[in-house]
């Protein structure tokens, strides 16, 4: 549909131009920041890395694994996803539901990127993270917040309908892991910090982000979203963030 594609492209350009008028802190992409700044520092030479929910697309590639001498464990609810991962990346594959998984406390590092929103029991997932870490180890977490406008819409719309809309407006997402059912259970900054504390984890670092790409395809929707976001910030403060990054540490003593 050439007309629709042109219409979306024009609206995206307009939304991006308007967005550039805002303070830069509101325009930082949390997912890109997580991949560029946090993943590289997550793994030290010879460490045991658990990739939670990485499935067929693990964060550690074979070249990095060999260079650092890593042991990589993949945990995913889908055995088929794990089996589709590049050969040799995972040293061990565990098909398990994070909501009920209990780790063996041997991980030097846990990576959990855009997973927490997809589990129906956020408390169970945080317990899985805590029991997987060894004392002194860190978990690196990125997730969208339940309070984000796109998350609220995600919870309201039927799954098949929102998948069709998502893949039509963002065809590049059809090739990735976007479109999976999301629950956003205990999936706000406040909830993450409470669950971390309940599981004996310490918040070493927190970064909040205030942008997402979903509303850029229609400039009026973009303007409405930014206005709602401002109101939500007045009501909820930091808990109104669109996405967040946490680095959690399991104390040595």
**CATH classification of the domain holding 115:** 3.40.50.150
Residue 209 has pLDDT above 90, yes or no: yes
Predicted pLDDT of residue 161: 57
> 3-state DSSP call for residue 105?
coil
Residue 162 has pLDDT above 70, yes or no: no
Residue 181: pLDDT band (50, 70, 90) is confident
Residue 1 has pLDDT above 80, yes or no: no
The residue among 46 and 160 whose pLDDT is bigger is 46
Residue 246 has pLDDT above 90, yes or no: yes
Residue 175: pLDDT band (50, 70, 90) is low
pTM > 0.85: yes
- Average pLDDT, whole number, for the chain? 92
State how many domains the chain has: 1
The residue among 177 and 35 whose pLDDT is bigger is 35
**116-159: pLDDT as tens digits:** 999 999 999 999 999 999 999 999 999 999 999 999 988 887 66
Predicted pLDDT of residue 192: 98
Distant-in-sequence, close-in-space partners of 253: CB < 8 Å, separation ≥ 6? 135
Quote the domain boundaries for residue 131. Answer: 2-249
**13-60: pLDDT as tens digits:** 999 999 999 999 999 999 999 999 999 999 899 999 999 998 999 988
What does the angle CA 249 – CA 90 – CA 138 come to, to the nearest 5 degrees?
5
Burial string for 218-246 (b: 16+ CB within 10 Å, else e) reads bbeebeebbeebeebeeeeeebbbbbbbb
Among 50, 66, 58, CA closest to 85: 58
**CA dihedral sign of residues 11, 240, 141, 28:** positive
Residue 89 has pLDDT above 70, yes or no: yes
Compute the distance between CA of residue 58 and CA of residue 97 in angstroms, rounded to an integer: 17
Strand partners, 5: none
> 3-state DSSP call for residue 233?
helix
Residue 207 has what DSSP assignment? E
H/E element, 124: helix 122-132
- Poorest-pLDDT segment among 95-104, 151-160, 209-218, 229-238: 151-160
């Amino acid at each position: 549909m050439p007309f629709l594609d042109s219409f979306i492209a024009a609206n995206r350009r307009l939304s991006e131009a308007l967005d550039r008028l805002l303070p830069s802190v509101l325009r930082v992409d949390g997912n890109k920041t997580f991949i560029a700044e946090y993943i590289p520092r997550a793994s030290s030479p010879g460490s045991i890395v658990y990739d939670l929910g990485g499935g067929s697309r693990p964060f550690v590639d074979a070249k990095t694994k060999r260079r650092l001498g890593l042991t990589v464990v993949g945990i995913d609810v889908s055995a088929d996803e794990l089996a589709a991962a590049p050969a040799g990346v995972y040293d061990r594959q565990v098909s398990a539901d994070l909501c009920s998984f209990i780790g063996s406390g041997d991980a030097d590092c846990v990576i959990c990127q855009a997973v927490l929103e997809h589990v129906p029991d956020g408390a169970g997932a945080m317990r899985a993270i805590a029991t997987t870490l060894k004392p002194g180890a860190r978990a690196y977490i990125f997730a969208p917040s339940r309070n984000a406008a796109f998350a609220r819409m995600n919870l309201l719309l039927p799954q098949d309908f929102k998948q069709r809309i998502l893949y039509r407006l963002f065809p590049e997402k059809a090739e990735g892991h976007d479109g999976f059912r999301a629950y956003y259970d205990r999936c706000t900054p406040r909830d993450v910090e409470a669950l971390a504390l309940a599981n004996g984890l310490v918040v070493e670092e927190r970064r909040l982000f205030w942008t997402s790409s979903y509303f850029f395809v229609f400039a009026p929707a973009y303007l409405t979203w930014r206005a709602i976001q401002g109101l939500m910030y007045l009501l909820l403060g930091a808990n109104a963030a669109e996405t967040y990054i946490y680095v959690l540490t399991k104390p040595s003593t």
